[in-house]
Chain A
Amino acid sequence: MLHKKIVRRMLLLGAVCLLLLGGSTWYAVRFNGSRLVVPMDFSTYVFRPQDLPMILSMLLLILYVLCLAGLLVRWAFAEKRRQAGSPVTRTINPKLGFLGFLGFLGLGGFWTYGVDGSIFPFLFFTFFGFFGFFYEGKLSNTLMDERYLENRRRARAAADRTALTIIFLSTLALSQGRLWGGGDTMLIAHIILVSLAMGLDVFLGEFLLYRYDHDDPVEEGDA
């Protein structure tokens, strides 16, 4: 687990970064003609001292995000190393399943496509897979005996099969090329479908494992 002291420190730093960004945005809108706030043509950009607050706060935010990512990657590797020799599943809070709502960030793609034509936010639909944490959390600290391992293999196989079927069928349908006309629309539809299928794959893997492990509950008696 991440040390509580580090988590508190990172939350505080994040709040400071957001406050600074908010302050410099207000300054740019109020006194600097919204430079670096609204989309602008950087090929003709000329530096002005009034841009400094916005530049510095953005650099600070980028630095913060990089630090956060580095910290999370380091923690993930440490956790993986610890898990490798452990006979039990990792302990995670089922409430992490709420991260699945991040999948709705994918809807942002419709907005960014309209603004500057970028379509990468559609990939965020994959985050719906985080709903699987809800079931993984319920199986926290479970002894991985042979029945668990067999159920995990079955669940992963079923999830992969479902996701691949969706990807295959959607590719087949989209490759007909006459459904919605434009190439952009087809690409966007394909990215959305693949992202949703990937999210479903991650979610189903955990959900089915939980189902297989808890199906047909037997009585608790031990006579």
Chain B
Amino acid sequence: MPAFTCQLKAYRQRKGFTQEQLAALVGVRRETIMRLEKAQYNPSLKLAIDISRAVEAPIEELFIFE
């Protein structure tokens, strides 16, 4: 898996979502959001775009690949 840093937690908290709420919004499990925030899971393009739309943040700021 390519190394990347994930800024999702900060953007999610800024929007006032819990992990559970965000997971329900984008149709995944809370565990998936947890792993995403720890950069332990590389999401598909579709999930990345769904999350980016849900938290209203540009995708390249959410996931920063080195």
Decide whether A and B are members of one complex.
Answer: yes
Residues of A within 8 A of B (CB): 142-143, 145-148, 213, 216, 218-219, 222-223
**Additional A-B contacts beyond A147-B28, A147-B35 (8; CB < 8 A):** A142-B29, A145-B29, A146-B32, A147-B32, A148-B29, A213-B31, A218-B34, A222-B30
> B34–A146 contact, CB under 8 A?
no
B44 touches A146 (CB 8 A): yes
B residues in contact with A143, CB < 8 Å: 28-29
User: Could you list 28 A-B pairs, sorted by A, with CB under 8 Å?
Assistant: A142-B29, A143-B28, A143-B29, A145-B27, A145-B28, A145-B29, A145-B32, A146-B28, A146-B32, A146-B43, A146-B44, A146-B47, A147-B28, A147-B29, A147-B31, A147-B32, A147-B35, A147-B41, A148-B29, A216-B40, A218-B31, A218-B34, A218-B35, A218-B38, A218-B40, A219-B34, A222-B30, A223-B13
B13 contact set on A, CB distance < 8 A:
223
At the interface, yes or no: B7 with Cβ under 8 Å from chain A? no
- Is B20 in contact with chain A by the CB < 8 A criterion? yes
With both chains docked as a complex, state the minimum distance between the C-beta of B52 and any C-beta of chain A, in angstroms: 15
- Nearest to A87 among chain B residues (CB) is B27
Residues of B within 8 A of A (CB): 13, 18-20, 27-32, 34-35, 38, 40-41, 43-44, 46-47
**Overall SS of chain A's interface:** loop
**In the assembled complex, how far is the CB of residue B55 from the closest CB belonging to chain A, in whole angstroms?**
15
Give chain B residues whose Cβ lies under 8 Å from the Cβ of A146. 28, 32, 43-44, 46-47
* B38 proximity list for chain A (CB < 8 A): 218
Give A214's nearest chain B residue, CB to CB: B31
Q: What is the CA–CA distance of A216 and B38 in the complex, to the nearest angstrom?
A: 11
Which residue on chain A has the smallest CB distance to residue B35? Answer: A218
Task: Give the distance to chain A from B1, nearest Cβ to Cβ, in Å.
Answer: 11
Which are the 3 A-B pairs with shortest beta-carbon distances? Answer: A145-B28, A147-B32, A218-B34
Whole-angstrom distance between the Cβ of B41 and the nearest chain A Cβ: 6
Considering the chains assembled together, what is the distance between the CA atoms of A213 and B27 in angstroms?
17
- Min distance, Cβ B4 to any Cβ of chain A, angstroms: 16
